[in-house]
Amino acid sequence: MIYLDYNATTPIDAAVAEAMLPFIREHYGNPSSGHALGQAAHRALEAARASVASLIGASPDEITFTSGGTESSNHVIKSIARLRKTAGKHFVTTAVEHPATLNPMTWLESDGYTRTEVAVDETGLVDPDDVRKAIRPETILISVMHSQNEVGTIEPIAEIGRIAKEAGVPFHVDAAQSVGKIPVNVEEMNADFVSVAGHKLYAPKGIGALYVRKGVEIEPLIHGASQESGRRGGTENVVMSIGLGKAAEISGAYLKQGDHTKLRDYFWQQLSAALGNKVVLNGHPTKRLPSTVNVSFPGHVGGELLARLDGVCASTGAACHSGDAKPSKVLTAMGLNRERAIGTIRFSVGRPTQQAEIDSVVDRLSRALSSEMAAENTR
């Protein structure tokens, strides 16, 4: 098996698992308890919070642990809708956002909320000026993802954040796909809210974080006691939070050493050399996640081609859409025709990926396409 689906999820780093184990076996106290066992858990939880904050340039008291990126984005959108409903009921977002952003907005439509989805160009890039033009007096939130999860395009977030700040509109960034892969700094982004997903950066599934800028009001999504500075009721998930904290620490060190850009570019170079015009790159050629190689094989069906690659794990779009035969909404928004969209496979590399694995996948693709063409010629 060759795993090239790191945008969908990552394995838990061995050091992350090791850091979690003592809090499964020994340090099981409730962090809200005043006794020694509880306080040990509390100190570890706060250390993990500080590690997550450090990774994105925030203060620890600006970090709330959540169950993942989807909860974080839902928290922002639903809270802002309630807090600012007297100011307006209009959201500005883009046509290539994750369902974690678009679906809460759709859910709020029954209460009179509307949204403007700003278009993207053929590479998936948003024009900040289009965001500016979409703002209305009744706009209460701008939400734009940092990097597109299917094609990897990195959006001009800092510029959009400046526009939001000038307009006096809160700005939410879904950074689930970019944290741990590229540098993320909440101050440089001019962000008020940032969503983080642990399982995208070698932490467990079921843990994430939400950055809330100091001084910005937000209501709890989950009401209960005063955990997480009153932002999220319920006993804290100490084990998973420690896992995310350790993963953030490792990611910070990794980003200082480099990223996957050379491996990503090598993959595309080998594909284009072996297949020529039989393969087309999707997404921005340079402003793209170092993990992501999204390509189309015109005249073929991505899912069928992937099934013939003999144990290669990749996606025919975002993983959460993999059972859907319809063209990806993201690729459609970028202007890809149905044939090219249906023929798409997203490969995404990770820290364990070896060059030999990429060579093997390119070879398997070449053989799969050759055999498919031969079969067509004999019909």
- CA distances from residue 362 to 261, 274, 346 in whole angstroms, order as listed: 18, 7, 13
Backbone phi, psi, residue 327, to 5°: -60, 145
Backbone phi, psi, residue 179, to 5°: -60, 125
Q: Which of 320, 321, 332, 364 is catalytic?
A: 320
Residue 373's contacts (CB-CB under 8 Å, 6 or more residues apart) are: none
In whole angstroms, give the CA distance from residue 90 to residue 137. Answer: 9
Instruction: Determine how many CB atoms are found less than 10 A away from the CB of residue 256.
Output: 8
Annotation marks residue 313 as catalytic? no
Is 341 within 8 Å of 328 (Cβ atoms)? Answer: yes
Backbone CA torsion sign across 50, 52, 56, 58? negative
Residue 250's contacts (CB-CB under 8 Å, 6 or more residues apart) are: 13, 15, 16, 202
Residue 307's contacts (CB-CB under 8 Å, 6 or more residues apart) are: none
If residue 246 lies in a helix (H) or strand (E), which one and from where to where?
A: helix 238-257
Burial of 126 (C-beta count, 10 Å sphere; 0-12/13-18/19+) = buried
Helix (H, G, I), strand (E, B) or coil at 260: coil
Burial of 122 (C-beta count, 10 Å sphere; 0-12/13-18/19+) = exposed
Which of 43, 48, 59, 55 lies closest to 19 in space, CA to CA?
48
Catalytic residues: 320
